[in-house]
Structure 1
């Protein structure tokens, strides 16, 4: 009898939701099936990934913050395990649907590159829901790409690879510009980081070849950056493309309540290249 009682107690304990188990769920909007993962408890952070990446790029941040925050992350249209329909959808409205599903008064938004652009659109349209805006290696809707000659050359070569349906070449070119950095070589990167990041890009490009992403706001963000009033933090790696460094400075100069942070020895995908340093910065921002 005592043995049966112990077994029952163990079964009950195993069924309890600790808040830290993370599995794929899906958000349905405009016939899209959008991949979502959540874990943890506490003040909510919504993470938005970069282009040709997916929600898995945030794994190091999940491990670092799941014991103190609710982590909400998703794969945009054309990424991860998300299945898109033929309907156009605004990216910031996907983020808003997440705030409806996981209701809180306010959220911290963390976006990298493309994801930063979606977070900016959200902050402009739903400022009352944003506590802090964290833009990592951010792009900018309305920016005249490319001022960086090496990035421009890389982009043209990548477009040719796409036109020739050469997925692997396109992925490697994207990886060179947006992971290694326009002015660094493969040998300067940690081998595990090099392989992991390239595999992530190849997987997303292959799975969603020439598939459309979500839409940016039709009101171009660059025309109204002064409207952003929430505390904003812009984080860039010093080895990133010239355009991203210039964009970071524009955000910083035009958003009144902003701070720019430059990180040594990293390029665009700094959250994965040096997760320890990025997590330290993120913790400081959350505690600020």
Structure 2
């Protein structure tokens, strides 16, 4: 059974989909993408889990911010709307950053974390993220973004690249043309990783950019209950470049099959 809908919250709406039964697992997408990036994982996990996907504010079918907002507060309200007290959180890139912020704010509500090519608040990137939408226009900005080195490896995967292009084509571009009005700031998150209580898998593609390998090393060093995984032959978007392998890895993680390494 598939449930779809919109949550009205903080002068906006958040689109979500729920399928399957069992323990809740929430899959959180990366920047400029949306819930569709998880289609293969939803298909593979739904027999055993209640899988929740949604579009973060400003992405996909969700509305753009109209004032101060918080991605992790949006997620908290969505789970309350769905009657979910605690859940496994899975996030790619920006989605991993959101999952970490949620786990730091509401540690008792997180059953486990799977962080894939994750960002973390407070990391100083060497990557050039700027897209000049004023100069290029929205169509030009989308094209420039699709040419970013972040997507170099996914371009060689036909289905994954088609999915990325479709999602970026539908991205509002809001974050390229507006100041960041998220509150509170999460720039101190990198210094609080020792507070994460949940069992955590830190997953990074072998061919991902150096920044994300550096972040993975920090997460592995500072989170207490952690299992590091390097996926061979893939880059930043592991779940789109090696969907079956990623789905099986997530299944094992969610079921607690693979042991974690405890530090501290």
Question: For structure 2, which runs of at least 5 residues remain unmatched after alignment?
Answer: 257-264
By percentage of residues, which structure has more strand? 2
Whole-Å separation in 2 of the counterparts to 1:128 and 1:86? 30
Tell me the alpha carbon deviations over residues 5-32 of structure 1, each in whole angstroms, 9 at most, x when there is no partner.
xxxxxxxxxxxxxxx2243x11111111
Matches within 5 A, 1:104-253: 104-146=84-126, 151-152=127-128, 155=129, 158-159=130-131, 161-175=132-146, 176-181=148-153, 186=155, 189-205=156-172, 210=177, 215=182, 217-219=184-186, 220-253=188-221
| Alpha-carbon offset, residue 128 of structure 1 | 0.4
Of residues 24, 29, 35, the one that matches 1:49 is: 29
Question: RMSD of the alignment, in Å?
Answer: 2.1
Q: State the structure with bigger RCO (CA 8 A, min sep 6), 1 or 2.
A: 2
Whole-Å separation in 2 of the counterparts to 1:241 and 1:47? 22
Question: For structure 1, which runs of at least 5 residues remain unmatched after alignment?
Answer: 1-19
Paired residues in the alignment total 254
Whole-Å separation in 1 of the counterparts to 2:60 and 2:178? 12
User: Equivalent residue for 1:64?
Assistant: 44
By percentage of residues, which structure has more helix? 1
Tell me the alpha carbon deviations over residues 63-118 of structure 1, each in whole angstroms, 9 at most, x when there is no partner.
11112111111111110111134121111111111221122442100011111111
Whether the 8 Å CA contact 1:33–1:82 is kept in 2: the answer is: yes
Matches within 5 A, 1:270-285: 270-285=238-253
Whole-Å separation in 1 of the counterparts to 2:124 and 2:98? 18
Q: When the two structures are superposed, what TM-score results if normalisation uses the length of structure 2?
A: 0.88
Whether the 8 Å CA contact 2:68–2:183 is kept in 1: the answer is: no
Whether the 8 Å CA contact 1:234–1:252 is kept in 2: the answer is: yes
Whole-Å separation in 1 of the counterparts to 2:238 and 2:183? 24
| Alpha-carbon offset, residue 249 of structure 1 | 0.6
Cα 1:255–1:208 change in 2 (3 A) is closer
Whole-Å separation in 1 of the counterparts to 2:95 and 2:180? 11
Tell me the alpha carbon deviations over residues 226-257 of structure 1, each in whole angstroms, 9 at most, x when there is no partner.
11121111111111111011001100101111
Tell me the alpha carbon deviations over residues 52-73 of structure 1, each in whole angstroms, 9 at most, x when there is no partner.
0011111111111112111111
Structure with max Cα Rg: 1
Whether the 8 Å CA contact 1:171–1:198 is kept in 2: the answer is: no
Whole-Å separation in 1 of the counterparts to 2:180 and 2:80? 22
Whole-Å separation in 2 of the counterparts to 1:178 and 1:169? 17
Whole-Å separation in 2 of the counterparts to 1:280 and 1:107? 19
Secondary structure of 2:91's aligned partner? strand
Secondary structure of 1:38's aligned partner? strand
Whether the 8 Å CA contact 2:202–2:228 is kept in 1: the answer is: yes
User: Equivalent residue for 1:11?
Assistant: none
| Alpha-carbon offset, residue 204 of structure 1 | 1.0
